[in-house]
Amino acid sequence: MKSKIAKTAVVLLSGGLDSATALYFAKAKGYQCRCLIFDYGQLHKKEITSAVNIAKASRCPYEILKIGFPWRGSALLDKKVKISKKIKPGIPSTYVPARNIIFLSFALSFAETIKAKAIFIGAHAQDYSGYPDCRPEFFQVFAEMAKVGTYGGGRIKILAPLLNKKKAQIISLGQRLGVPFNLSWSCYRGAKLPCGICDSCYYRAKGFKEAGLADPLTK
């Protein structure tokens, strides 16, 4: 009897709790995961270190891809652009223009090359900062584009399993999957400890509280 060939997936891994949960979710679904980590000129590198540590903890191979946004356009890339200290309506200054389009395009090329069956991304639409590239419509359109823009057609699935979950639900799922949240980093700033006031810190703290769990980075 022939042995079953394991299915492979490319996982976009940022070092945050969402992408870490997406990685462990993919593993739980039986995928052999290859992690893709981006060094895209972000002002602090803690998230890259976190992503590497999470990949190692999951025993998944990883690639660090260095690219550039020389035009900046985001508080994550430009010291002159301030990170807001309050939650405000509209698109926040931490939005990196077209980032998910660019990241997924690299992931798609990688996935096609290694004959992966799927790409996992930890984006989610609820309880978040309103990034336009985290909306369900975006992923639907990108998946359609991938069908006509790659040799394999619809062979590679674009999966965002956390898309319609709230942050507390993601944390609860990650807890059940054994995600090492202590290795993750969510803060937009790169200090020794999370700032506790940026959008990402706010939603992380809110999520852990609603999930009834203690955040290992702040407890």
70/77 Cα distance (integer angstroms): 9
CATH number reported for the structural domain that contains residue 84 in this entry: 3.40.50.620
Please report whether residue 48 resides in a domain.
yes
Please report whether residue 3 resides in a domain.
no
Please report whether residue 2 resides in a domain.
no
Please report whether residue 219 resides in a domain.
no
Mean pLDDT of 84-95: 81
Number of domains in the chain: 1
Please report whether residue 218 resides in a domain.
no
Please report whether residue 53 resides in a domain.
yes
Mean pLDDT of 85-100: 85
What range defines the domain where residue 71 resides? 8-211
Say what percent of the chain tops pLDDT 70.
Answer: 95
Highest mean predicted confidence (pLDDT) among 1-5, 75-79, 173-177, 201-205: 173-177
Please report whether residue 97 resides in a domain.
yes
Full-model pTM: 0.94
Q: Tell me the DSSP string of 23-61.
A: HHHHHHTTPEEEEEEEE---S--HHHHHHHHHHHHTT--
Say which amino acid occupies 68: G
Over residues 185-204, the pLDDT tens digits come to 999 988 889 999 998 999 99
Please report whether residue 184 resides in a domain.
yes
Q: Tell me the DSSP string of 78-116.
A: -TTSPPPSS--SSS-TT--TTHHHHHHHHHHHHHHHTT-
User: pLDDT tier at 3 (50, 70, 90 boundaries)?
Assistant: very low
CB 47 within 8 A of CB 14: yes
